[in-house]
Structure 1
Amino acid sequence: MKTNMLRHSLLISLILFLNFNVFGQKILGTVVDKNQNPLEMASVMLLNAKDSSLVSFVSSASTGAFEIYDAPKGDFLIQITYLGYENFWKKLTLGADAVNLGTIILKENTKELQSLVVSDYGSPMEFGKDTVSYNAAAFKIKPGDVVEDLLKKLPGVEVERDGSVKAFGENVQNVLVDGKEFFGKDTKIATKNLDADAVEKVQVFDKKSDMAEFTGIEDGQDERTINLKLKPGKKAGYFGTAELAGGTGERFKERASINRFSPKSRISFIGLANNINEQNFSMQDYISFMGGIGSMMSGGGMNINLGENGGLPMGLINNQGVQKSFAGGLNYSKDLNKKTSLVSSVFFNDFFNDLNNNATRENFLKDASYLSKILGNQSSNNLSTSFNLKLSSKISAFQNVIFRLDGGLGSNRMNSVSSDVSLRNDNSKINENNSIYDISGKNYRLTPDLTYQQKFSKLGRSMVMKAKTNISHTANDADLDANYTFYSDQLTTRQILQNQQSANEGMSYDLNAAYIEPLGKKRYVEFSAGLNDQNNKLNTDFFDIINDALVYNLNFSTWYNRDYINRKTGLKYSSTQTKYNWAAGFKYENSLLKGTVNNENTNIKNQFSAVLPELYYNYEFGNGHNFNLDYTTDMAEPSLLQLQPIVNNSDPLNIYKGNPSLSNEYKHNLSMRYMKYNAFEFRMFYASLRAGFTHNKINNSINIDEFFVRTMSPMNSKNEQSGSGRIEYSTPIKPLKVKTKVTLRSNVSNGYSLINNVWNQTTIFGKGINFSVENRKKAKLDVLAGIRYYRSDSRYSENANLGQFYTETTLFVEGSLNIGENMILKTNFDNVSYQQSFSKDAVNVPLLKVNLTTFVDKNKKLRLTAEIFDILNQNKGISRNSNLSYNEISQTNVLGRYFLFGLSYNIKGFKKAHGIEIKMGDRD
């Protein structure tokens, strides 16, 4: 049945893409310079003669040759551009025959072009020395589209279904607006909230670290970055969007984005409110809070676990629970003078989540297993405000100062009602816990950071010094009412009724300095030193509630002071050449961990030292063609939670206690990446290999007593290994006018857990394949369809017969259709199928969503929207979690079918701009 479904889905996708007029006209030619040398990567555009809109686009091959397939009949302009040469253009009338333009000689541009005003046509793509630049006007967008919609149309840029962005195979880590940070490093705020109509150019480049940018010496710390260069007219007025919608089940959605730009200052406001599980920003504050709560409920069923890629678990944004968000932010940047600039932002977030959970967990012993059935209801609220500021000043041609200030404050509350039953294989009860846990907390943090950069008269000689401080405070107040029962020969029932108070004060400083000396021929040696000191004071006071009175509990109350001092010195040699750059070096790191428990009744002192080698190599074969190798080592200290010797009894059947005697982990990480992007054929090949080895890996030691009460404590276990590989290949199929992409991935990990003093080795193998196909000409119809498949197998040394597997298969289709001039129909369909070894039947979740937009005025500023979510009413919140000691599958409450009706308005007010200014060359 599954095979038939896959066959039918792929057949439907193929029918959607096939255009039977596959034998259109072909345009041929070769681009050379005056000496008949071929010009590779010249941009060749076919433009509509009426409105100069882009019809087709290719780049010339290494021979200078180009071919445009499937050109329709009619009147067109052909335009060819190449950096440093004058533009070539010619009028064409296409009929039934192919057109051979022959050899086209581009003339060198004898004048240094600073800017060019173009009124009718422009180049869709420009390849500079370190930047790929897209002319947004060449890619048709619809009124109301945001930047994310524009990015989906750009060759080489991909927007994943979770909103993350890739450019030429690499994850985009920064999105800038006119070269300035926009709400910090949260990329989704810019891509999901800024109007695409405001963008003149999208520039893709590798942003260097502050140090590499200042010194000009590569350090391997580049981050793939997108810069949104706004249209000149947008810098002299205001623009934005306001949206309001309501629907069945009291569902609502409100969003606003308003921007006011001038040549020297920029101010942006974004706001949203909804109860349909949408967030157009990151969830870091909420994750941090819930991660802390999860650690206090480490054995229960209501914690949040991070997924494979360190992100949110599958479905949290749209599937887990019913969420309500109110958020708003203000971003302000200003050029104070020619040498000093300011970038700042403040963000407010009020987030609610109601989560019902039904989980089945298989727990592993030495040669047996038992089940846990977990039911729970969790209601949480996170109220937070965060801010960041960056002040940059170029004191002179040889000196820079950068000051950053980050901070935030918040309050949180969570109430959890849960039931946890452990069962033998015959379904007889072992133990049971019914508990109510209510916790509230407040926190604040402040992190000032100062960087001083100094160049000397000798070219390449430089010095960088950094000082950073972090101040934080967290206070929690919790009430626990737990009633637990042991089922044995004699029934035993107990109760914990407690008030639990905790406070954590943190203070740290970090000092770093580096000196670079040139050795000639673009070779350098770097000396570095650093000192980091982290101090925490953690007090935990437990009170038993007896006859409504608070009685202090000395057994569970703890005072813990921790001081972690880290000193490091380093030496690195680097070479930066035309085609390649590399660096090799090492750091010597010495750490001292001092701790005091219960007012010096217990003293802790551990010292660690290690030599940490590093190696970086990058080779550039050409534009879009490179190889990268990176080897790093790191000494990771235990977390405060793992060190603090505090018994957490919030779940009496799953008790957690820290271990102040933990040692540091020593990590080796090796990664290799290869990418080749063919701009002539729009083909991309990307391959990566990663390997990791961790000595003294910190894992939980688990002891399960005769009543199956689990007591967990962190310990340094045996070594852990991991590896992963990934291959991506995308290519157009020109006769079918489609683009295909296939991704193969695999991973393996090997670790150890200690259960009842018996080591159990766990090996996990994973493999997956993604395949997608989409049409290339998207003026009227935009369709993406494909399949994702992943399988994971777990094997255990002590109980090999309990090996587990799960599979996840997703069929998906996304479509957008322009109906006439004033109507747009969008649809999303996913069918997710889950299969797990300890569950007999597969779970299928078909999810269909449809959106219809109608423009009601001739300027297309006002539009009406109608949306249906989960038309089939089949949404299910299914998630899985694998651990060294258990496998779990859970189902949570989710949003069901709802209808949403709304309207939105594009806000525009500009001074009149004369033409479009396009700067030819690298990023400006």
Structure 2
Amino acid sequence: MRRFAGLLVLLLTAAQAYAAAPGRITGTVVDAADGESLPGAVVEVVPVGGDGSSKSAMSEVNGRFTVASVPYGDYTVRVSFLGYADFEKEVTVEAPVLDLGRIEMRLDDNEIEAVVLEVPAMRTSQKGDTVVYNASAFKVAADADTESLLAKMPGIMISADGTVEAQGEEIQKVFVDGKEFFGDDVSTAIKNLPAEVVENVEVFNKLSDQAEFTGLDDGEGYKALNIVTSESKRRGQFGKLYAAYGYPKYYTAGGNVNIFEGDSRISIIGLANNLNQQNFSFEDILGVVNTGGSSSSGGRMGGRRGGMGSFLVRPMDGISTVQAVGVNYSDTWGRRDNMEVTASYFFNHSKNRNEFVNETWQNPGSQYDYETGASGAENYNHRFNARIDYKINDNQNLMLRPYFRYQKYTGTESSQTDMSELEDDVEEAIQSILGSDGSDRSGYNAGLSALYRMKLGKQGRTLTFNLDGSYSKNRELQLVEEYYYLPRYAEGMVADSVANQRIAGDSYSYSLGGGLTYTEPLGKRSQLNLEYRINYDYSDAEKLTYLWDPVLELISPELSEELSTMNNSGYLTHRAGPGYRYSDGKTNVSASLMYQYSTLDNATEYPATVAPYVNYSFNNLVYSAMANVNFDAQNTLRIHARSRTNNPSVSQLQDVPDFSNSTYVRGGNAALRPAYTNRLHAFYINSNVAKGQTFTVMLGAEYTSDYIGDSIVTYDASRPFVIPNSTNVLQQGQRYARYANIGNSWSVRAGLSYGLPVKFLGSNLNFNVGATFAQTPNIVDGARFMRSENYFDGGVQLSSNISENIDFTILYNGSYNIASGISNGVRTDDRFVNQYASASIKWVIWKGITFTGNASYTQYKGITNKYDEQYVLCNLYIGKKVFRSQLGEISIGVNDLFNQNTSFRRTVQSSYIQNSTNLAIGRYISLQFVYNLRNFGKKATRAASQYDNFDTGGSGSVGVQRPGGMPGPGGPPPHVR
């Protein structure tokens, strides 16, 4: 009897446990009309009879949902989605998984208007390593550009110099509906596309062209943005035109026009101003233009802000007058629409003037240089890029990428440099120099890369050919004049024959490469590839120097053998090896290991005193490995490791001294070896779709062996130093630096960012913190010198998400920098703090009356070196929207209200630290006019508030949204798959 009772209790307990066993209900929510997935649908599971609590979930970007931990029993499943009739079905959970399959939702026209003001927009979603932002969930001013929209999105940061970072990585390229937009110029792309045309923004890891063809991640990819436009905005004309005049003498005018007709799209931008504004950056192929930006230790560039501040991109030091124009084109060609063409062209012309003060501390050591001067420059820049994708047939593809760059630069500079052993003894300078420098340079480069892929029948079996070629040519004419006098107040000056010189240089180089890649499937989830690549780089350069003749008192027509050179170098590389790829939908792994054999030939034709021919050969293993793990729809981990070799340039191999900067004489080294670099990057991304939160952790490390750095010799009266390949002896105040392989360098960077909505403020909040640790080797006076840089930074940004009538952003970034080193037992330290805070607002107050204001505070404060540069910039404007559509605006205001603008930058290098102050624009009053061009389709309205996906403010609700497609890891932009 006891046994029976025990067995009965056991059976009842098992039955109860079975009844309460947790299961899960899954399914996919789609549109019944076209089968498209519906993300953001609300799925509710309610027990029949009301016993127990209900459970709910939201469908993901692919429409898939899972309701977990559902006890066995009977339930009613209800699915609701904005604008659709509710779906309801009774089900019984009696197994671990109940899959409802496709749940087809049908439109309910009678309910759309009733619910459109009640359902909030889904902010973000994630698929693989792609984060998708729903643009309509972020509110900006009616005339805002895409940059303003991006700045509000969690996990995306835009710095003062226009650099865009997402998930801890810099964005390298922007796509619009899957097509490249303005080449590699990210800032131009996001500043010239109105926010209101954007439906989704996709942040993803873009594979290289080669990897896209083969399907194997080669480690050459980059972070990219794909901007998905609303369907109703893909036909029409839109853009912005503006003009402003500032008293007493400043002006700006320009704008952008986009002409979209389905796949055929043309975008034109242009500007002219004397406010130092570059609407898009130019490519400095000559390496001669001094541009502003962050210092090597992370300092933020301040100042240089004009009336149309939103068009500021990496300005040059000083004040520039700029004319620029750019065109972007994309279309589909061919009778079968089997050829996609995108192309962009840019032209920049700028005249720059500057007055500067440079304070330089030579580290290690105590020499202090104080330089003052003025400069002027004129620069012309052309660049063209194109991409042609030709689908020959279902089994063959061809991709072509031609490009062309041209730059012409003329510049003059005059300066006085006083050198002392201590900072406080400038008036008792050990030596002073009066110098002038004039240069005229021009150059161009052109190239073409081609990729051809052929499918060989079996799925995954392919053969890919690639061919790359480039050619560049530069010309230079430079006149250097320097006069020495010692001490500073002594009468008379002495001209130095080595410093007074005319330099004529011509150089050209070309590169040819090709490769073959074969891929073979090993199953449904894995693939093997074999690759061979050959590449040859050739450089030929001559530097002809003519010195001052003190007897004739003019530049001698005789060539200086010591300071002239003619040499060429060739670098041939063979690379071969296997690769492997595995993908099961959640986990993607790829790896390749290549054996690399390379030879370096360097021949010196002139002078005869230098070794005429040097030949080296190198054997290396180079690798690339990537793992992308999608734990679930919200959590992704990406790890990437790779190695590469860095070849010395022809200028580094030229084994003759360069006296064009007599305080820092530079020498080449024909015996340089390639440096070998290992890199590791890891990213963890968590995107909480329901709460609109994004969390990112980043870790990066780099280690370089045979690092190419400087071997430095300083002046010492007790040990005269003869500069190699020269009869000149190092003088007081001079340093000699020769390129050398001097050891190993390393750096580590860690950071995290977190973005979330702050509902009670109607705003979005972004945080970011990071730390960098690095060591770079040098040799000073024969002793090894390791320079350490530790850099800690953090920032916070609060941006409004209230309505289009009030748009504000509050930002703070700060950093603490430590640079130190030890040489000959003596430790040198430099500690300084950078802080940048800003606030901006655009407010439509009443009946089209607007208030626009922005203020920023910048501080550079030295701790070991006592300096404190700080200033406040404040711009205020009152305006009125005009025309019936309110697409125009007239405003008047003042720039730099307190007249505190300055241009200060701190630069930390391995062998010196420098503070630079440059000429900057001050206070002025400005009257400006802006007109927003809007003309979408045949039935489009001109009123911005009537466009779909554009909220008119305040309610926090949106209309019906459609997803931008199925994003995925790497490859082409997710939207166009």
Please give the range of the TM-score, normalised by the shorter of the 2 chains: 0.7 to 0.9
Q: Which range is displaced more, 321-330 or 723-732?
A: 723-732
Q: Shift of residue 430 of structure 1?
A: 1.5
Report which stretch shifted further, 158-167 or 356-365. 158-167
Q: CA deviation at 1:445?
A: 1.0
CA drift at 1:537: 1.2
Contact 1:124–1:136 under 8 Å retained in 2: no
- Single out whichever of 483-492 and 373-382 deviates more from structure 2: 483-492
Q: Which residue of 2 aligns with 1:608?
A: 618
Deviation track 1:323-342 (CA, whole Å, cap 9, x = no partner) reads 22210012222211221122
Paired residues of 2:134 and 2:199 also in contact (CA < 8 A): yes
Q: TM-score with structure 2 length normalisation?
A: 0.79
In structure 2, do the counterparts of structure 1 residues 680 and 233 end up closer, same or farther at CA, with 3 Å as the change threshold?
closer
Q: Distance in 1 between matches of 2:186 and 2:856?
A: 25
Q: Is 1:576 matched with 2:564?
A: no
Q: CA distance change for structure 1 residues 681 and 502 in 2, over 3 Å: closer, same or farther? A: same
| 2:58 counterpart residue number | 40
Between 1:133-142 and 1:700-709, the stretch displaced more is: 133-142
Check the 8 A contact 2:153/2:764 in 1, yes or no: no
Q: Deviations over 1:756-795 (max 9, x none)?
A: 1122222222212223334442444333334322111222
Could you say which structure has the greater relative contact order, defined with CA pairs below 8 angstroms and 6 or more residues apart? 2
Runs of 5+ consecutive residues of structure 1 not aligned to the other structure: 1-27, 44-58, 66-77, 91-104, 295-302
Q: Is the 8 A contact 1:612 1:634 kept in 2?
A: yes
Give 1:551's aligned residue: 557
Mapped to 1, the partners of 2:167 and 2:634 lie a distance apart of 7
Partner of 1:494: 495
Q: Secondary structure at the match of 1:622?
A: coil
SS of corresponding position for 1:172: strand
* Secondary structure, counterpart of 1:150 in structure 2: helix
Is 1:447–1:471's contact at 8 Å kept on the other side of the alignment?
A: yes
* Map of 1:747 onto structure 2: 772
Distance 1:136 1:751, change over 3 A: closer
Matches within 5 A, 1:207-226: 207-217=206-216, 222-226=221-225
Counterpart in 2 of 1:730? 755
Cα separation, 1, equivalents of 2:833 and 2:915: 12
Alignment CA distance shift 1:315-1:205 (3 Å): same
Paired residue for 2:536?
Answer: 533
Aligned equivalent of 2:408: 411
Could you say which structure has the larger radius of gyration?
A: 2
Partner of 1:194: 193
How do 1:560-709 and structure 2 match up within 5 A?
Answer: 560-599=567-606, 601=608, 602-705=612-715, 706=717, 707-709=732-734
Deviation at 1:817, TM superposition (A): 2.1
Taking the TM superposition and a 5 Å limit, the aligned residue runs for 1:829-848 are 829-848=855-874
2:239 is matched with: 240
Say whether the 8 Å CA contact 1:356–1:892 is kept in structure 2. Answer: yes
The amino acid across from 2:915 in the alignment is I
In the alignment, structure 1 residue 473 sits paired with structure 2 residue 473: yes
Alignment coverage as a number of residue pairs: 838
Mark the CA change 1:278 to 1:107 in structure 2 (over 3 Å): closer, same or farther.
farther
1:595 counterpart letter in structure 2: N
Residues 423-438 of structure 1: pairs in structure 2 closer than 5 A:
423-425=420-422, 427=425, 428-438=428-438
- Structure 1 residue 509 displacement after superposition: 0.8
Q: CA deviation at 1:80?
A: 5.5
Q: Is the 8 A contact 1:127 1:133 kept in 2?
A: yes
Question: How far, CA to CA, are the matches of 2:849 and 2:961 in structure 1?
Answer: 32
- Contact 1:87 / 1:106 at 8 angstroms: preserved in 2? no
Structure-1 separation of matches of 2:622 and 2:414: 47
Structure 2 residue 261 is matched with structure 1 residue 251: no
Structure 1 residue 876 and structure 2 residue 882: aligned?
no
Q: Distance in 1 between matches of 2:831 and 2:323?
A: 40
CA contact under 8 A between 2:574 and 2:598: conserved in structure 1?
Answer: yes
Aligned residues of 2:687 and 2:694 also touching (Cα < 8 A): yes
Task: Call closer, same or farther: CA 1:802–1:136 in 2, change over 3 Å.
Answer: closer
Aligned to 2:455: 455
Structure 1 residues 130-209: aligned runs within 5 Å: 136=135, 139-154=138-153, 157-167=156-166, 170-209=169-208
What CA distance in whole angstroms lies between the structure 1 residues aligned with 2:327 and 2:46? 53
Which has the higher mean CA deviation after the structures are superposed, 731-740 or 705-714?
731-740
Indicate the SS of the match to 2:196: helix
What is the aligned partner in structure 1 of residue 721 from structure 2? none
Q: Which stretch shows the higher mean deviation, 738-747 or 564-573?
A: 738-747
In structure 2, distance between residues paired with 1:132 and 1:685: 11
Kept in 2, the 8 Å contact 1:141–1:149? The answer is yes
Aligned to 2:852: 826
* CA distance in 1: counterparts of 2:249 and 2:138, whole angstroms: 38
**Residues 124, 687 of structure 2: 8 Å contact kept:** no
| Greater alpha carbon shift after TM alignment, 137-146 vs 694-703 | 137-146
8 Å contact from structure 1 (residues 881, 889) kept in 2: yes
Cα separation, 2, equivalents of 1:874 and 1:416: 26
**Equivalents in 2 of 1:157, 1:843: separation in Å?**
29
Partner of 1:348: 347
Pair 245,472 (structure 1): closer, same or farther in 2 beyond 3 Å: same
- Equivalent-residue separation in structure 2 for 1:597 and 1:698 (angstroms): 21
Q: Tell me which amino acid in the other structure corresponds to 1:505.
A: Y
Between 850-859 and 314-323, report the one with greater CA deviation.
Answer: 314-323
Please, what TM-score do these two structures have when normalized by structure 1?
0.83
Q: Which residue of 2 aligns with 1:50?
A: none
* Alignment partners' CA distance in 1, 2:840 and 2:204: 29
Taking a change above 3 Å as real, the CA distance of residues 328 and 874 of structure 1, as seen in their structure-2 partners, is same
Residue 528 of structure 2 aligns with an amino acid whose one-letter code is V
For 2:897, what is the secondary structure of its paired residue?
A: coil
Tell me if 1:326 matches 2:352.
no
Distance apart, 1:415 and its partner CA: 0.7
Alpha-carbon deviations, 1:291-313, whole Å to 9, x = none? Answer: 3478xxxxxxxx98973389996
Alignment of 1:497-512 (within 5 A): 497-512=500-515
Alignment gaps of 5+ in structure 2: 1-39, 48-53, 71-77, 89-98, 305-313, 718-731, 941-946, 949-959, 967-974
| Cα-to-partner distance string for 1:559-616 (whole Å, 9 max, x where unaligned) | 1111111111122222112221112331111221111112594112122221123322
Contact 1:534 1:563 survives alignment (8 Å): yes
In the alignment, what sits opposite 1:49?
Answer: none
CA-to-partner distance for each residue in 1:676-699, whole Å, 9 max, x for gaps?
121222222211122221111111
Which residue number corresponds to residue 519 of structure 1?
522
- For residue 647 of structure 1, report the CA deviation from its aligned partner: 2.4
Question: Helix, strand or coil: the match of 1:652?
Answer: coil
Task: Give per-residue Cα distances to partners, 1:178-200, cap 9 Å, x unaligned.
Answer: 32212212112221112333444
Q: Residue 561 of structure 2 aligns to a residue in which SS?
A: strand
Matched, 1:862 2:888: yes
1:379–1:81 distance in 2 versus 1, CA, 3 Å: farther
The AA in structure 1 aligned to 2:44 is V
- Residue in 1 that maps onto 2:834: 808
How far 1:387 sits from its partner (Å)? 0.7
**Change beyond 3 A, Cα 1:599–1:346:** same
Greater Cα shift, 376-385 or 546-555: 546-555
Q: Give the AA of the match of 2:456.
A: F
User: 1:227 & 1:30 partners in 2: Cα distance?
Assistant: 27
1: distance between equivalents of 2:468 and 2:224? 25
The structure-2 alpha-carbon separation of the partners of 1:836 and 1:584, relative to structure 1 and needing over 3 Å to count, comes to same
SS at match of 2:522: strand
Separation of aligned partners in 2, 1:725 and 1:364:
27
Deviations 1:677-730 (A, max 9, x none): 212222222111222211111111111123131111111102112212112223
Question: Larger deviation: 435-444 or 541-550?
Answer: 541-550
> Identity, % of aligned pairs?
23
1:308 equivalent in alignment to 2:284 = no
Contact 1:42/1:80, CA 8 A, preserved across alignment: no
The whole-number CA distance in structure 1 between the counterparts of 2:341 and 2:455 is 23
Assess if the C-alpha contact under 8 Å between 2:168 and 2:751 holds in 1.
no
Q: Secondary structure of the equivalent of 2:564?
A: strand
- Tell me, what secondary structure is at the counterpart of 1:369? coil
